[in-house]
Structure 1
Amino acid sequence: MTRSWNVPPSETADSTTAATTVRGPSRRFLRTADGVRIDARYEPATASYGTGTPPGGHPQAPLAIVVAHGFTGDLDRPHVRRVAGVLARYGAVVTFSFRGHGASGGRSTVGDREIHDVTAAVAWARELGHTRVATVGFSMGGSVVLRHAALHGREPRARTDAVVSVSAPARWYYRGTAPMRRLHWLVTRPAGRLVGRYGFRTRIHHREWDPVPLSPVEAVPRIAPTPLLIVHGDRDAYFPLDHPRMLAEAAGDHGELWLEPGMGHAEHAVGEDLLHRIGRWVAGAAG
């Protein structure tokens, strides 16, 4: 069962905070490079492999896992907390709400400027003393962790040691499924953005991308040699199997592809067994 703490957001932390060691859960606002306040939560590792000790044999393992949720999610959603609870058996976990989601500031750019949000979360994990940091993203978050690893993954504070992308698109502007056509209406129409704001607690930016950001499939070749895992369900109603296969082909020998039978889309569809498999992969790849 996922453990949770009622820890209120505290003062804003910027990217210059000195490295510290956190023994318990913590929640605070982070400030991104472009000035947006991001609601973030830290949970120490619990236990791994049934031993009661995280990988590495020390109660405060060096590994932290940054979880990037999908569009219209936030760090307090039950499915995000479930993911965090399982992954905490393999390392400390940082969850956060993307801009325009939950208690975070700003407005969603649906995968463009969200790269700064991931950068802030990874930097916070390193500021807390973690020497190994992996990112695990779902759907929109899956596309963002790919772009983050390609564009910022070698910077000292924002460096990633392993990347997992679950249920991510390979290319932008895809409208080939009914759920994606509905999502485009939500993002591009004033009435849709109202539905997003009041129905999904997601504030969506009205401006179109300019310039169009690097696509996930263009980003993937730049991630090497960082270990990369692509996970996708064969019953994903949003993105059919040509998306993960394009990403895997672009990754070449440095990427690994898991096509999961019977799995649907993103956090809601990821079972506990698969989350444990992902956790073991991350602990091995980033450890």
Structure 2
Amino acid sequence: MSTTPAGHVGRSTVRPNPETIRRAPMRTFLHTDDGVTIDSVYDPPAAVYDTSTPPSVDLVFVLAHGFTGDVDKPHVRRVVQALTQFGAVVSFSFRGHGASGGRSTVGDKEVLDLAAAVEWARGFGHSRVATVGFSMGGSVVLRHAALYGPERGGRTEAGTDAVISVSAPARWYYRGTAPMRKLHWLVTRPTGRMVSRYGFGTRIHHREWNPVPLSPVEAVPRIAPTPLLIVHGDRDGYFPVDHPRMLAEAAGEHGELWLEEGMGHAEHAATDDLLARIGGWALDAAG
């Protein structure tokens, strides 16, 4: 179903009812703190629970896709379907992507999009939230966890109980690989932004960051005590393995690193087995 946006972060005009909507998919638009409309989808768990005997951990994943993805892309839907084996899933299109409003800031204001989606996910009555992000979305889940939650002065309802970051950069402005040099051309050049808009359906903001947001590696130490999983492929063509190693070092004892042999980049490279292991980790971490 589709509804018109409401004027509050994470709130749609149709409020989730944990006793009914939780058993069926739902689609709506959310409003972020800065007023951007975010196209969002709720998928219930693949196994419908007997509400008279709820599970010990009632988990909802909030999925943050990579740059140029959106909630309807097949590679995003594949991840959604894999994670529904372990809990409900809220997926959404970042600003500037798909049917969402606004323009992409390539990882800066997208934290507000994720916060709205997390708050909406909590409205379905699930006891735990796990954020999982890929590539750009991987950097967003790290910064979101650092900025939201009671320990960090944020709103509890917009915070997360576990964080999974897949194929994320550790630092900004990285141009050390050919794919990243192409991405910077898309973002920084008028012709590149036109190619992004009409070729990839992604609308990019023309303004540079001001101020420069907290980098992923700077955000990671602020996530504790929230459980953190960092996943990266040893054949990632965008960000080499020094990126996840930097993140893991910054996380210290509260973070866990999975360096996956033979894996490439982000959702396209995540096997069904890896997604199942991520789902299992989230269940244990959020328990």
TM range, smaller chain? over 0.9
Give aligned pairs, total. Answer: 275
Match of 1:204 in 2: 204
SS in 1 for 2:156: coil
| Equivalent residue, structure 2, for 1:252 | 252
Report the Cα offset of residue 127 of structure 1: 1.4
Which residue in 2 is equivalent to 1:188? 188
Deviation at 1:20, TM superposition (A): 2.8
SS at match of 2:9: coil
Residue 156 (structure 1) shift: 1.3
What SS does structure 2 have at the residue aligned with 1:12?
A: coil
Q: What CA deviation, in whole Å up to 9, does each residue of 1:33-54 have, x standing for no partner?
A: 000000000011113xxxx759
Which residue is 1:4 aligned to?
A: none
Assess, with a 3 A threshold, how the Cα gap between structure 1 residues 201 and 223 changes in structure 2: closer, same or farther.
Answer: same
Cα deviation per residue 1:59-87 (whole Å; 9 max; x = unaligned)? 79621100000000001000000000010
Note if 1:83 corresponds to 2:76.
Answer: no
Alignment of 1:267-282 (within 5 A): 267-282=267-282
8 Å CA contact retained: 1:72, 1:200: yes
| Alignment counterpart, residue 64 of structure 2, candidates 50, 68, 71 | 68
**Cα separation, partners in 2 of 1:20 and 1:156, compared to 1, 3 Å:** farther
Q: Which runs of 5+ in 1 are unaligned?
A: 1-6
Distance in 2 of aligned mates of 1:89 and 1:57: 18
Going from structure 1 to structure 2, the CA distance change for 1:59 and 1:81 (only over 3 Å counts) comes to: farther
2:163 is aligned to 163
Identity of aligned residues (%): 71
TM-score (norm 1): 0.92
What's the CA shift for 1:12?
1.5
- Return the TM-score normalized by structure 2: 0.92
Counterpart amino acid of 1:266? A
Q: Is the 8 A contact 1:19 1:126 kept in 2?
A: no
CA distance in 1, matches of 2:74, 2:280: 22
- For 2:49 and 2:16, the matched residues in 1 are separated by 23
CA 1:148–1:16: 2 relative to 1, 3 Å: closer
| Offset of residue 157 of structure 1 | 1.1
Equivalent runs, 1:108-187 vs 2, <5 Å: 108-154=104-150, 155-187=155-187
Paired residue for 1:215? 215
User: What is the root-mean-square deviation in Å for CA atoms of aligned residues?
Assistant: 1.8
Specify the code of the residue in structure 1 equivalent to 2:175. R
Structure 1: distance between partners of 2:95 and 2:71: 11
Any conservation in 2 of the 1:107–1:204 contact (CA below 8 Å)?
yes
Please state whether the residue corresponding to 2:285 is helix, strand or coil: helix
Checking the alignment, whether the CA contact within 8 Å between 2:10 and 2:120 is kept in structure 1 is: no
Question: Is the 1:45–1:60 contact (alpha carbons within 8 Å) kept by the matching residues of 2?
Answer: no
Conservation of the 8 A alpha-carbon contact between 1:61 and 1:91: no
Contact 1:102 1:201 in 2 (8 A): yes
Residue 57 of structure 1 and its aligned partner are, at CA, apart by 6.1
Instruction: Report the Cα offset of residue 236 of structure 1.
Output: 0.2
C-alpha distance in structure 2 between counterparts of 1:115 and 1:153, whole Å: 13
Query: Can you list the C-alpha shifts for 1:217-243, whole angstroms capped at 9, x where unaligned?
Result: 000000000000000000000000000
In the other structure, the counterpart of 1:226 is: 226
Runs of 4+ deviating beyond 6 Å: none
Question: Against the structure 1 CA distance between its residues 170 and 16, is the aligned structure 2 distance closer, same or farther, given a 3 Å change threshold?
Answer: closer
Distance, in Å, in 2 between the alignment partners of 1:15 and 1:197 is 26
Q: Any stretches of 5+ residues in structure 2 without a counterpart? A: none
Give the drift of 1:277.
0.2
Partner of 2:46: 46
Q: Is the 8 A contact 2:60 2:128 kept in 1?
A: yes
Q: Does 1:15 align with 2:12?
A: no
How far residue 121 of structure 1 moved from its aligned partner, in angstroms, is 0.4
